[in-house]
């Protein structure tokens, strides 16, 4: 059956890159927005990658996805974001071995101001933006700062990959299913300073820290494994994570649109409202619920001294990145 009228317009930047290749087919098959929602894809690439994007579009055609209403390819951000309901900002250089994600700020930061301005100029009123390109939190901050007419809470950064990594580590350690684990949280920056927090988490309803019963494992293995997983993937694959990143982007938007399960939350980089002492305006990861198409920071969690110190350290890094982009004239 052909896709119905009024598809959702989804713009993907960096469409010819490795995450783009792992992402587009899943969007077109209905995994981003659900099995009843047709999508029209808009692929944004730099001019030298347009031919590769055309090849990907040919393959999308060849899948004959019933939900795919159309594919357009652009090298102009204003055209690519015109009418966008969902914008996935993936296009940016990945780091290579030995770099921290923040080292990409000067290489990639300049991409996100013009793209934020293009979203401001022409995206649909309900646009929802996920920034994947690194350093994701600060790139989302840059884009949001260039889109004064778009509600700030429509700009988000991806820490769902960190959240999923943390779920997988806890499941493996405890022999439980990821489905049994709830209320795990990633706080702060999508960087090595992030704080994967098990202090409120449960496994099949029991406190996770009680089930694990090994503070040394939590501090010395779990937290660094999750926080440095991106570097470990680069070391092993010789390229940064792609399929798992695309999967997390799908999860992030699907949750944003369809909501979190009762009694659970997820993690997302959202514009801080000052909660938990995180300066308002920074894009920081928090535990969030989603209802009615909006994320809400989980309120009122008690933070012990260890958690407080870890969150403060990661937020301090975000403040430094904000100062750096100000100094570079990017905001």
- Residue positions annotated with a catalytic role: 190
Based on CB atoms, which residue is closest to ligand NAD, 82 or 303? Answer: 82
By the rule CB under 6 A, 267 interacts with ligand NAD: no
CA-based angle 112:61:118, to the nearest 5? 20
Cβ-closest residue to ligand LMR? 230
By the rule CB under 6 A, 101 interacts with ligand LMR: yes
- Around Cβ 176, how many Cβ atoms within 10 Å? 17
What is the maximal distance between C-alpha atoms in the chain? 57
170 is in an annotated binding site: no
Q: Rounded distance, CA 101 to CA 48, Å?
A: 24
By the rule CB under 6 A, 165 interacts with ligand NAD: no
Residue 233 near which of ligand LMR, ligand NAD, none (CB within 5-8 Å, type-dependent): ligand LMR
By the rule CB under 6 A, 111 interacts with ligand NAD: yes
In 3D space, the residue among 226, 183, 186 whose CA is nearest the CA of residue 206 turns out to be: 183
By the rule CB under 6 A, 134 interacts with ligand LMR: yes
Based on CB atoms, which residue is closest to ligand LMR, 67 or 233? Answer: 233
Whole-angstrom Cα Rg for the chain: 19
By the rule CB under 6 A, 13 interacts with ligand NAD: yes
By the rule CB under 6 A, 240 interacts with ligand LMR: yes
Beta-strand ranges (E) seen in the chain are 8-13, 39-44, 68-74, 86-89, 128-131, 155-157, 181-182, 185-187, 195-197, 202-203, 206-207, 266-271, 283-291, 294-297
By the rule CB under 6 A, 94 interacts with ligand NAD: yes
- Around Cβ 3, how many Cβ atoms within 10 Å? 17
Q: Rounded distance, CA 267 to CA 275, Å?
A: 14
Site for ligand NAD in 211-250 (CB under 6 A): 240-242, 245
101 is in an annotated binding site: yes
Quick one: tokens of 137?
A: 């939190």
Shortest Å distance, C-beta 18 to ligand NAD: 4
Write the DSSP assignment of 218-238 as a string of letters: IIIIIHHHHHTHHHHHHHHHS
Question: Facing residues of 181 across strands?
Answer: 203
Residue 18 near which of ligand LMR, ligand NAD, none (CB within 5-8 Å, type-dependent): ligand NAD
By the rule CB under 6 A, 255 interacts with ligand NAD: no
Q: Rounded distance, CA 76 to CA 202, Å?
A: 46
83 is in an annotated binding site: no
Quick one: tokens of 275?
A: 């909660």
19 is in an annotated binding site: yes
SS (H, E, C) 251-290: HHHHHHHHCCCCCCCEEEEEECCCHHHCCCCCEEEEEEEE
14 is in an annotated binding site: yes
- In this chain, which of 8, 16, 68, 234 binds ligand NAD, going by CB under 6 A? 16
- In this chain, which of 130, 132, 283, 297 binds ligand NAD, going by CB under 6 A? 132
By the rule CB under 6 A, 233 interacts with ligand LMR: yes
Residue indicated by tokens 């399960």: 261
165 is in an annotated binding site: yes
Alpha helices in 123-207 (DSSP H): 136-145, 160-174
Residue 129 near which of ligand LMR, ligand NAD, none (CB within 5-8 Å, type-dependent): none
- In this chain, which of 32, 39, 60, 90 binds ligand NAD, going by CB under 6 A? 90
Residues annotated within a binding site for substrate: 95, 101, 134, 165
Interaction site with ligand LMR (CB under 6 A):
94-95, 101, 134, 161, 230-231, 233, 240-241, 245
Residues annotated within a binding site: 14-20, 95, 101, 108, 115, 132-134, 165
Interaction site with ligand NAD (CB under 6 A):
13-14, 16-20, 44-46, 49, 90-95, 111, 132-134, 136, 158, 161, 190, 240-242, 245
């Amino acid at each position: 059956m052909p896709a119905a009228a009024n598809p959702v317009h989804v713009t993907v930047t960096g469409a010819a890159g490795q995450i783009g290749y792992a992402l587009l087919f899943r969007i077109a098959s209905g995994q981003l927005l659900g099995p009843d929602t047709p999508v029209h894809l808009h692929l944004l690439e730099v001019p030298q990658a347009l031919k590769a994007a055309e090849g990907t579009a040919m393959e999308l055609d060849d899948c004959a996805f019933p939900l795919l209403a159309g594919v357009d390819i652009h090298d102009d951000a204003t055209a690519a974001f015109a009418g966008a309901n969902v914008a996935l900002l993936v296009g940016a250089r990945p780091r290579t071995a030995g770099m921290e994600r923040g080292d990409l700020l000067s290489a990639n930061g300049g991409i996100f101001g013009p793209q934020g301005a293009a979203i401001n100029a022409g995206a649909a009123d309900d646009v929802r933006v996920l920034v994947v390109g690194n350093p994701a939190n600060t790139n989302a901050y840059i884009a949001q700062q260039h889109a004064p007419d778009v509600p700030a809470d429509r700009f988000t950064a991806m820490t769902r990959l960190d959240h999923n990594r943390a779920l997988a580590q806890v499941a493996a350690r405890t022999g439980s299913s990821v489905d049994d684990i709830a209320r795990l949280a990633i706080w702060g920056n999508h960087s090595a300073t992030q704080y994967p927090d098990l202090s409120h988490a449960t496994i099949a309803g029991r406190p996770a820290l009680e089930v694990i019963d090994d503070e040394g494992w939590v501090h010395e293995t779990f937290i660094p494994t999750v926080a440095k997983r991106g570097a470990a993937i680069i070391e092993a694959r010789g390229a940064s994570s792609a399929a798992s990143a695309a999967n997390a982007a799908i999860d992030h938007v699907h949750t944003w649109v369809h909501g979190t399960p009762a009694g659970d939350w997820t993690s997302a980089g959202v514009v801080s409202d000052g909660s938990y002492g995180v300066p308002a305006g920074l894009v920081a990861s928090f535990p969030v619920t989603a209802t009615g198409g909006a994320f809400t920071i989980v309120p009122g969690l008690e933070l012990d001294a260890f958690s407080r110190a870890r969150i403060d350290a990661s937020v301090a890094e975000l403040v430094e990145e904000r100062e750096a982009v100000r100094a570079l004239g990017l905001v």
